[in-house]
């Protein structure tokens, strides 16, 4: 339910992990977070509005509503374009989800909260190679063990828990 709706908005916090690379982080990071949330909201709201106006919600396919509706109204080419777009969207979503993991592992290794070897920079690539390999490997194992719904549930619960802990810490 609500946790799966929340999944669409997860990822805006990745911008904060790139603070060292921003030219003016005090100005650029808040603007990028707000703009990304507005774009996400408009995309989801627009898509939901269009699909609901095209076809009654109780007749839509719960697993793939957009391709189903376009197929039902006779737009089979659009149905396949939307299906292909969904595959590409999953790939970019995966990139967005994996993007902050090496940075977080590097920072935690650098602060000695995890193994210090996670903070070692590869001299050839100038990246924290071990953090990248561990983060990608763990993500791959999780993807092989669980289906998409379970992964979305785990990610949403973990993210909501992290946001709740941060909010409580701000109050305390």
> For residues 69 and 48, is the Cβ–Cβ distance under 8 A?
no
Question: What is the pLDDT at residue 169?
Answer: 92
1: pLDDT strictly greater than 70: no
20, 15, 52: which is closest to 37 by C-alpha?
Answer: 15
Averaged over 117-125, what is the pLDDT?
Answer: 91
> For residues 85 and 66, is the Cβ–Cβ distance under 8 A?
no
Averaged over 110-125, what is the pLDDT?
Answer: 91
Instruction: Note the pLDDT tens digit of each residue in 57-69.
Output: 888 888 888 899 9
Question: What is the pLDDT at residue 2?
Answer: 64
What is the value of pTM for the model shown?
0.68
> For residues 66 and 47, is the Cβ–Cβ distance under 8 A?
yes
């Amino acid at each position: 339910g609500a946790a799966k709706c929340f999944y669409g908005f997860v990822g805006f916090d990745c911008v904060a992990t790139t603070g060292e690379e921003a030219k003016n982080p005090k100005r650029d990071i808040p603007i990028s977070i707000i703009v990304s949330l507005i774009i996400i909201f408009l995309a989801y709201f627009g898509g939901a509005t269009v699909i609901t106006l095209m076809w009654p919600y109780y007749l839509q396919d719960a697993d793939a509503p957009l391709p189903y509706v376009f197929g039902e109204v006779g737009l089979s080419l659009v149905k396949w374009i939307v299906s292909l777009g969904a595959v590409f969207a999953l790939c970019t979503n995966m990139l967005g989800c994996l993007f902050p993991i090496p940075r977080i592992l590097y920072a935690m290794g650098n602060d000695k909260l995890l193994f210090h070897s996670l903070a070692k920079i590869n001299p050839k690539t100038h990246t924290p190679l071990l953090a990248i390999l561990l983060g990608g490997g763990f993500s791959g194992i999780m993807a092989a063990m669980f289906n998409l719904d379970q992964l979305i549930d785990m990610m949403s619960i973990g993210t909501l828990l992290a946001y709740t802990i941060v909010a409580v810490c701000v109050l305390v």
